[in-house]
Amino acid sequence: MGKIILLIGPKGSNKESLKKEILINKDFLEYNIEEIDNKDNIKIDSNYIESCSLKTYNDYLNDLGIDRLIPILVKTDNGVRLQTVLTEERSKENPDYKQMCIDYMEESIEYNNISLKYECLDNDLETITSILKDKLQNDKTMKKRL
């Protein structure tokens, strides 16, 4: 059975760029939340990749179960993340810096309190590739034993 790889990270992390690199270099299909509504669209033997927030990860977990998922927490330097969020806010027609700070702090607390089996630093494509190779290979080995 195919897996859905979830790159979980806060706003301002590099999860989208990592996802694009994996889509270019690996044999994965892009997965999006709309496909959850129609599970018939999910190819059983295909592997998918998606970048998401903790909330979306919990939705996937509830809808599909842990056996179908490979969650990877993408950790980001707080200074880099803050700069990214600030740049994004500045580009808005009516920036709300107070709300930006509140959101940033809430998200920082939320992500500091989570621990997943698989974690990587923001630009560490090598670690993600290693995790995926190991996890997907282990799943094939388990199938052969059954």
Give the Cβ contact number of residue 38 at 10 Å: 8
Give the Cβ contact number of residue 31 at 10 Å: 23
* pTM for the model: 0.77
Alpha helices in 37-96 (DSSP H): 54-64, 78-90
39-83 confidence digits (pLDDT tens): 555 555 677 888 888 888 998 888 888 888 899 999 888 898 899
8-42 confidence digits (pLDDT tens): 888 888 888 888 888 776 667 665 545 544 455 55
Rounded distance between C-alpha atoms, residue 26 and residue 47, angstroms: 10
- Residues facing residue 118 across a β-bridge: 72
For domain 4-76+115-127, give the CATH number: 3.40.50
Q: Provide the greatest CA pair distance for the chain.
A: 59
75-133 confidence digits (pLDDT tens): 888 898 899 899 999 999 999 999 999 999 999 998 888 888 888 888 788 888 888 88
Domain ranges of the chain: 4-76+115-127
